Amino acid sequence: MLEYEKYNELQAKSQRMQEDYEAQMRELEKSKQGGFEELTEYYEGKLRETCLRLEQVPTFTNPSTRRKLVD
């Protein structure tokens, strides 16, 4: 009977460890998703700022003038 009790204890411990592992993986996934959302918002803001700055830059209608500035 002693071996059977040890087996049941190990089985229960293994089950708890599996549940703990799965809970940690869910938390990690939520944390990772939140990090991606934060980074996305940050870079979207940077992109909006850059677009606003670019809209303020005068455009040139003369292609030869533009080429000189780009080159």
- Between CA 19 and CA 2 the distance in angstroms is 26
Q: What percent of the chain has pLDDT over 90?
A: 72
- Between CA 25 and CA 19 the distance in angstroms is 10
Domains in the chain: boundaries: 2-56
What average pLDDT does the structure give for the chain?
88
Higher model confidence: residue 47 or residue 64? 47
How confident is residue 62, by pLDDT bands cut at 50, 70 and 90? low
